Structure 1
Amino acid sequence: MGGQAGWHYLTTADIFPLRRIVFSGQQKVSEATLRALLPVSLGDNLLRLNLHQLGERLKMHPWIKRAVLFRRLPDTLVIRVEERTPFALIHTGEAWLIDEEGYILAAPARNRENRYPHIQGLRHQAYAPGDRVTEPGLQVGLFLLKTFRHSPLFPGLMVTAIDVRSPQSPLLVWGDHQLTLRVGLDDLRGKLSLLPLITAYMARKGQEIAFIDLSLSRKIVVKPALVTVARE
């Protein structure tokens, strides 16, 4: 009984009033916006605050991925947030920025659409910031983007677009010359390991590539571009 009585006293008396809320980690979302999401007021008992529930409230904002909250006695609530990062742009009847998990963040700013790879061929459907797109084609597109971004075989490679109308054999476009690649999802890493060999071979021949098909099980299709590259 003594412990319960003591806790009751600590959480009801005015000895630990909330006087400061300290945020860190936010860049896109203003501190004022984060404060408005929290159902707390200065003067509330710091020990009575449900930190888990407050963290879940903050995650209701489309840009907030996670939030860590802790008390700094006697009077401060410390909140560290991690924001979601734009990863790609999708077209679903409207253009949306999404993060690498498929969460919709916002409509792209005007004239900034080409800063991110485009994932095309998704169903036209109404979405809003904070929604998560779980369409299989998008999951394929995100997987391919992550694979190319983190592979040591393609340093500096910038995929500009992925068409996932056929998720089992998506089309990728990259580079200044808009080289198009069709891949299958079976043995993806093994197939992608062939790309540097193919491009190096065609470069030695002084021939640019327009299209490579790695989706077939027993052959590789390479279509050269109409222009050739002078060999050094």
Structure 2
Amino acid sequence: MGLFQNNPRANAATARKQNRRVQQARPRPVPAAAPVARKPAVTTSRAGQRVNRRVDAPRAGAKPAVHVPRMGLRSMVAAVPRVGARGRRLLSLAARLAIAVTLAWGVLLAVQTSYQYVTTSARFEAKSLVYQATPHVPVDRLQALLGLEPGTNILAVDTDALQAKIAAEPWVKRASVQRSLPDTLIVEVEEHEAAAALLSGYFYLIDRDGVPFKRLEDGERGELPVITGVDREQLVAGDARAQTAIRRGLAALTTYQETPRPRLSEVHVDEGGAVALYTAKTGAALRLGRGDVAGKLARFDALRAALGERAEQLAVVHLDLDATPGTPERVVASFLDPAAEAAVLARGAGAKPAPKDMTQESAAQAPAANQPSGPTKSKSKKKKKAASGNKFASGIPKYD
């Protein structure tokens, strides 16, 4: 078969393929471009170092450009280690202090705004009062002590000042004033409980603790016994002896009142601490002396039980006699009625009653020896009433 066929189209295609192969194998040469003329490089005094004209060589007459980097958060954080550990601690402390001051300022501003609102709002106006009246501080007296004007804000009320004002009342022992939002005040008052009256220059009411809390006024004593024998100068000076005498008298009074006995009118305490009790009905004197009171009053109860109805005629009962060891305890008593005294003495001796004239003579001598400070006997009832009208049974004047 020859290279070319008789088909002209096939021959033309074959020729084109052969040309392509020749072109791929032998690329067509490209004419070289003309060389570009370049400006000679400007060198500095240092050899081998190339200078960038646009950066290192500013134009003549132009101000040099200053590059200021933009400080972002990362740049600030990156700059922190440069100050050292101590600097970082100071910066941290300053940041915390700034945050605390800002928060405190915000809180104070909020509190001030809230305070102005609640102290001027009509919602917090004091409108109600909760109080249980006491015998000596009624509701109208309490309202006068509080002195709250209409429209008073409950949060603007000084509760401590109100408590002090109420506690200044003589009968008040303790006072409490509390708020109950939005518009109520709760007041509690505890009064003194008068246990006795005290005569020491003036009459005072004293409580169970022996504290004089007010001057005695008309109608306030009632059936309270009076404690006498306390020196006024010692009481005013706050001497411990005066307080000891008052407590000694109160202790004897409390022990006496634990059992039903005749009502007392006076409890006398002398300088040595000896106690004498005086009944209200007959003025009988019970001399207890010093020491245990309960045991001596037990002997008095036994004496009254043995005498029966004649016990109402007792004038002086000595319960302060100390028995000698090995002997029974003794109780020496005298009577207001001479006949009753003679009968008791005769019954105790196992003999008949003495004649009337001798009984009166012995009864007149007995009180003079045994009762120097007790109630003075008199043949005239009018003189006896007049003498006891301005004196106690112990002989102390009731009024200066």
TM-score (norm 2): 0.47
Q: Could you say which residue in structure 2 is the equivalent of 1:225?
A: 335
2:271 alignment partner, one of 150, 160, 166: 166
CA distance in 1, matches of 2:311, 2:293: 27
Counterpart of 2:27 in structure 1 is: none
Partner Cα distance (2:135, 2:178) in 1: 20
Checking the alignment, whether the CA contact within 8 Å between 2:235 and 2:242 is kept in structure 1 is no
Q: Kindly tell me: are residues 56 and 76 of structure 1, through their superposed partners in 2, closer, same or farther at Cα, counting changes over 3 Å?
A: same
Instruction: Provide Cα deviations, 1:31-70, integer angstroms capped at 9, x if missing partner.
Output: 3433343475444443454545533331111111222333
Residue 182 of structure 1 aligns to a residue whose secondary structure is strand
What SS does the corresponding residue of 1:162 show, helix, strand or coil?
Answer: strand
> For residues 260 and 112 of structure 2, what CA distance do their matches in structure 1 show?
57
Partner of 1:120: 228
Structure 1 stretches lacking a partner, 5+ long? none
Contact 2:300–2:319 (CA under 8 A) maintained in structure 1: no
Name 1:109's counterpart in structure 2. Answer: 218
8 Å contact kept, 1:87–1:116:
yes
Q: What pairs up with 1:72-221 in 2 under 5 angstroms?
A: 72-101=180-209, 102-109=211-218, 115-124=223-232, 135-149=243-257, 151=258, 154-155=259-260, 157-166=262-271, 168-203=273-308, 208-218=313-323, 219-221=329-331
- 1:176-225, Cα deviation, whole Å (9 max, x unpaired): 22221122442322332222112212338878432222334324432220
Q: Tell me: CA distance 1:59–1:207, structure 2 relative to 1, closer, same or farther (3 Å).
A: closer
Structure with bigger gyration radius: 2
Number of positions where the alignment pairs a residue of Structure 1 with one of Structure 2: 223
Percent identical pairs in the alignment equals 26
Q: Which amino acid aligns with 2:207?
A: D
Contact 2:234/2:242 (<8 A) preserved = no
Output the CA distance in 2 between the equivalents of 1:114 and 1:50.
38
Matches within 5 A, 1:17-56: 17-38=125-146, 41-47=149-155, 49=157, 51-56=159-164
Q: Which residue of 2 aligns with 1:70?
A: 178
Report the aligned-residue RMSD.
Answer: 3.7
Q: Indicate the SS of the match to 2:271.
A: coil
Structure 2 Cα separation of the partners of residues 179 and 94 of structure 1: 25
The structure with more strand, counted as a fraction of residues: 1
Decide which structure has greater helix share.
Answer: 2
- Higher mean C-alpha displacement, 222-231 vs 135-144: 222-231
SS across alignment from 2:124: coil
What's the offset of the Cα at 1:138? 1.7
Greater shift after overlay, 88-97 or 72-81?
88-97
Determine if contact 1:202/1:208 at 8 Å carries over to the other structure. Answer: no
Q: With the length of structure 1 as denominator, give the TM-score of the two structures.
A: 0.75
